[in-house]
Amino acid sequence: MPDTLGTLHEVVRDVIADFAPAELPVVKGLGLLDERTVSRQFRNRGPKREPLGFGLGEIALLATPVVWVVLEQAAKGATDSLAERSSEWVRSRLKRRPAKTSIPDFTSEQQKTIYQAALSEAKKRGLSEDEAVAIADAIHRRLTMDRPDDLLGSA
């Protein structure tokens, strides 16, 4: 199994702490919910800047849904074998708790794809170009932390 950078919630929390700390209290609360519930709510949101919709009052989340959806899709795409997905599903059912999504250590090519996906998702949700780039940059920083610059092709 590949090295992981943490669970989906942990990585989202780290990105939000970096990019949108005002959303951090809500992100911490998301850790108490089932991932599938959070994912379903975030996927069903339109481009409007609306409250999340499950008891969080008037809090409008801008960055968190983008980060969550992009990283969840990337992690699920990285789980490339049916056997691995089936094994995870069986383990989650035996525990009677849904499995937590792990964020793998993505390749440079996957990181580029995630960056583009973050830009696209942010724009789809009505964020400005500057906001979209800032979110994508924050995700990239988290995915590449603790790596030597030469691995990323940076000078």
Provide the residue ranges of all domains of the chain, joining segments of one domain with +.
4-152
- Predicted TM-score (pTM) of the model is 0.72
Give the tens place of pLDDT for each residue, 11-54: 999 999 999 999 999 999 998 888 988 988 888 765 444 444 44
CB atoms closer than 10 angstroms to residue 14: 21
Contacts of 62 (CB under 8 A, 6+ apart): 20, 23, 49, 125, 127, 131
By three-state DSSP, how is residue 7 classified?
strand
pLDDT more than 70, % of the chain? 69
The DSSP bridge pattern shows strands 4-7 and 102-104 to be antiparallel
Mean pLDDT of the chain: 79
What is residue 154's predicted lDDT score, i.e. its pLDDT? Answer: 44
